Amino acid sequence: MGRKKISLIGGGQIGGVLAQLCALRELGDVVMFDIVEGLPQGKMLDIAEVGSVDRFDACLKGTNSYEDIKDSDVVIVTAGLPRKPGMSRDDLIEVNSKIMTSVAEGIKAYAPNSIVIVISNPLDAMVTLCQKITGFPYSRVIGQAGVLDSARFITFIAWELGVSVKDVNAMTLGGHGDDMVPLVRYASVNGIPVMELLENKYKDKAKAKEVMDAMVKRTRGAGGEVVALLKTGSAFYSPASSAIAMAESILKDSKRVLPTCCFLQGEFGVNGYYVGVPAVLGEKGVEQILEFKLDAEEQEMMDKSVAAVKGLVDSMKL
Ligand code: APR
């Protein structure tokens, strides 16, 4: 029985962290592809040389040839430009569409049986384009956004309440833009509603709502907050960890329930677009979408978020 094979398309900031995490967690052998000569080879050599220190067994290969991604189980795509301060994710659509087109053609030709996780932005548009060009089933082309957006929401809640992030559960749905939908009603600390805990803390319903609204706002703008600080690029540790959680569930067939950018065919009232929803990820990719009823306010936010996704995707004229 051979090891699993993970290919990373894009060897930049996120690609490097992805490769290191794959190795540290022994998820399988890893290939990193990039168009820049020497970059993927150098990064993979650098990581491989500490296998004895970090105690991992994995073959790591950097390449400029798509042939090397053949027989991949999972492909994670980060090829594309990141944003700079003042830019929205949507501003990247023109340049990253061209990059995604060539990447998807490479995946289609050399890794036709793989499950593809897209990270490149603007996410909802890039995953749509990737699926269109590869022609893979929708269940095998998905996007990473919700795991990270939810993790950010969880972090802010844990800091506010002074509890471990491990005991906070919360999720965001919708597109990976400023209209994403953090689900306040289901945010909990080991099942105890976060709103109830905030009301206990402040002894004031209005103040509790104000604090929650501020956390929702910060979650929506969290990517931009990092960009404004870094000035030269966007978040990279956190998107990498988030995509690895998805890849691990697929490679180990764990069937974790993770907010995933999935193609919807009627679920949550959306038809024919990729949108973030809770999905069961296993060896077949998206194995189930877990649908539930949104209340009127959540549905309104979801509709607004989906309208933004539609506007962006339709502008690509696929
Ligand atoms: N094929 C493969 N790789 C490419 C191509 C291409 N056609 N064009 C560019 N790349 C590579 C670049 O050479 C670079 O190494 O993509 C890599 C991108 O890395 P970074 O610029 O460091 O960007 P990163 O921070 O990793 O983000 C990548 O993910 O979260 C999104 O918004 C982010 O779209 C961005 C992407």
pLDDT digits 0-9 by tens, 125-168: 999 999 999 999 999 999 999 999 999 999 999 999 999 999 99
Question: Catalytic one among 16, 176, 264, 273?
Answer: 176
**How many residues are recorded in the chain?**
318
CA-CA distances (angstroms) from residue 21 to 24, 73, 119, 197, 255? 5, 16, 16, 35, 20
| Closest by Cα among 48, 54, 49 to 19 | 48
Alpha-carbon gap, residue 75 to 111, rounded angstroms: 8
Taking only the tens place, the pLDDT of each residue in 82-122 is: 988 988 888 999 999 999 999 999 999 999 999 999 999 99
**Ligand 1 atom closest to the CA of 33, numbered from 1:** 2
Report which protein residue has its CA nearest ligand 1's atom 14.
12
Taking only the tens place, the pLDDT of each residue in 197-218 is: 999 999 999 999 999 999 999 9
| Closest by Cα among 254, 233, 219, 211 to 146 | 219
Alpha-carbon gap, residue 82 to 122, rounded angstroms: 9
What single letter denotes the amino acid at residue 153? Answer: F
Alpha carbons within 13 angstroms on the beta-carbon side of residue 110 total 18
89 is in an annotated binding site: yes
What single letter denotes the amino acid at residue 101? Answer: T
pTM: 0.98
Which residue spans within 67-215 are E strands per DSSP? 74-77, 115-118, 141-143, 168-169, 172-173, 181-182, 188-189, 192-193
- State whether residue 210 is helix, strand or coil: helix
Find the 257 Cα to ligand 1 centroid distance in Å.
Answer: 27
314 is in an annotated binding site: no
- Taking the C-alpha atoms of 7, 151, 231 and 224 in order, what is their torsion angle to the nearest 10 degrees? 120
Q: What's residue 278's pLDDT?
A: 98
ipTM of the complex: 0.99
Alpha-carbon gap, residue 18 to 9, rounded angstroms: 10
Report which protein residue has its CA nearest ligand 1's atom 33.
82
Across all residues in the chain, what is the average pLDDT? 97
Taking only the tens place, the pLDDT of each residue in 276-291 is: 999 999 999 999 999 9
Q: What's residue 318's pLDDT?
A: 79
Q: Is 144 in the pocket of ligand 1 (CB under 6 A)?
A: no
For residue 266, pLDDT beyond 90? yes
Residue 120 is given by DSSP the state P
If 0-12 CB within 10 Å is exposed, 13-18 middle and 19+ buried, where does residue 8 land?
buried
Q: What's residue 262's pLDDT?
A: 98
Q: What's residue 317's pLDDT?
A: 80
Paired tokens of 214: 């501020």
